[in-house]
Structure 1
Amino acid sequence: MLGFLNLNKPFDWTSHDCVARVRKLLRLKRVGHAGTLDPAATGVLPIALGRATRLLQYLPENKAYKATIRLGVQTTTDDLQGEIITSQPCPGMNFADVKTAMSQFQGKIEQIPPIYSAIQVDGKRLYDLARKGEIVEVPKRTVEIFHTEILDWRDGDFPELDVAIACGSGTYIRAIARDLGAILETGGTLAALVRTASSGFNLTDSLTLTDLEIQLQTETFQPSIPDVALQHIPSVTLPDISAQKWCQGQKMPLTLDFSGIVRVYDPEACLLGIGKLQDGVLIPTTVLKT
């Protein structure tokens, strides 16, 4: 099998749980995923099937989310799954101040990841260190926010903000919720999160695990072809003889007006793999068809 499953991850499942379930349903050993989602988050979790696991490294990194941020509350995990550190009602919060504060999360920003995250410090996961009560300095990282849009605002003792966020790889939405609360001096935490797009896949086209089970029972399941998620990579087509040699690991002379990573096809439009075009030579990097 070669392709992708655009899975709508259910609440309270880890990304690993989803991979294990898909592996069992499809009776397939080689299954992997792109872009880990926290258990409390739902939405797009791209899953590679069979030889497509070798293509995970080439998927686009941009992502999009719909988040609900609750003000007046701060937790250990920066979402509602953690223990409450502070809880102070803020019924008089001015929406104009919230909009101004939210506008600061635009472009390239520095962000400190949550202490409960999978990032490694000195070879150890932050969440493992946090669970042991060890205090470590979490290094800042530069992330990129392409666009934010406020979708809804609900007043109350603990007002909530719904916001759409398009961002680059490595961005923690939990950290945005926490930092927004810090700017407003109210505290803030992530109340809900749905990933609406990831690695070239969108929520509108996703399947739930129940959908997958039904399609398998009715023998209608078809994985997405790899090309769907690789459109950001330019393509080249090789003649039959050259395609065969390239699949056997041979470098092929190829002069084009660009260089870098390319999708490689044969004359029948079959994806052979991913190559690197450098100095007029097409070098095999990931060969799918031998």
Structure 2
Amino acid sequence: MTCWGTNDMPGSREQIMQPHFDIIARLREIAETGKNSDSQVAAAILADAEFATHAAIDKLAQKAGVSEPTITRFCRMLGFEGTREFKVKLAQSLAIAGRYIVPEPAQGNETGIPSIIASSAVDAVQTVCGLVDLDILERSACLIARARMVRAYGSGGASSMAATELENRLFRLGVPAASYIDGEMQQMTAAASDERTVIVAFSLSGEIQPLIEAVAIAGRYGARTIALTAPGSSLACAAELVLPLHIEEGTDVYRPSPARYALLALTDMLAMTIAKKIGAPAVERMRRIKNLQGMHKIDAPNLPLGD
């Protein structure tokens, strides 16, 4: 029986063909702990990954200080058929997360951070404001205001937060609502939906498959579906109504994404439109909540509706 050490273990073809195979992490591991020639090749690729995706094998070998057969053997050791397939996988990784591989050095000092965050948040909110279709916003609000049940779906970071936030906005208005951030729960609750249900799905990318399937399932059972997502995405195509959202992330990997400010702003636009549709009954429910606050906090008049 052949026993392989961690650094000598050949790549699994099944493993590298998986979408989640992290070629950059594997290259870094080899650069740090691999044998000399492999370490040289991995280090050379990581030093200029863009060059490695386009360079001829002789140029890559020259840059790494090894022979051409060593480059070919290295790619096969990782589980690829050859250098061509390796370059394709590397290029895909660069396209998705290239700016995180060799990030730009942090510029300036911490004193500029507050203004960076504030300006990026303002820009994101103004961008989404310019994308809003008032007719779609109005129609979405009408559906939600009349719904027997609203289910808010999100996954990941900002989208999960927005789904929970919509639930928080709606119960104040007297609209029955629940949020779900688990894909399986989204699909099960979608299957339990009917024509009196409204699904509101949040996704910055619009390409989260379980979420897309949940929206499609709900639609088949007569539910009305609304998506706050990227225009032209798979989720946008699956939903009945779309409130578009697209924010350029920029290249600063140290700055948190401003997209969540835009998503929350779009959620607030929807919530305010719904509140105005419902009118006095919504105001009465908000009064009750505010009255409850007043029993606990002497400065309640100056506080928002909820802590």
Normalised by the size of structure 2, how large is the TM-score? 0.23
Structure 1 or 2: more strand by fraction: 1
Larger Rg: 2
Normalised by the size of structure 1, how large is the TM-score? 0.24
Higher relative contact order (CA 8 A, sep 6+): 1
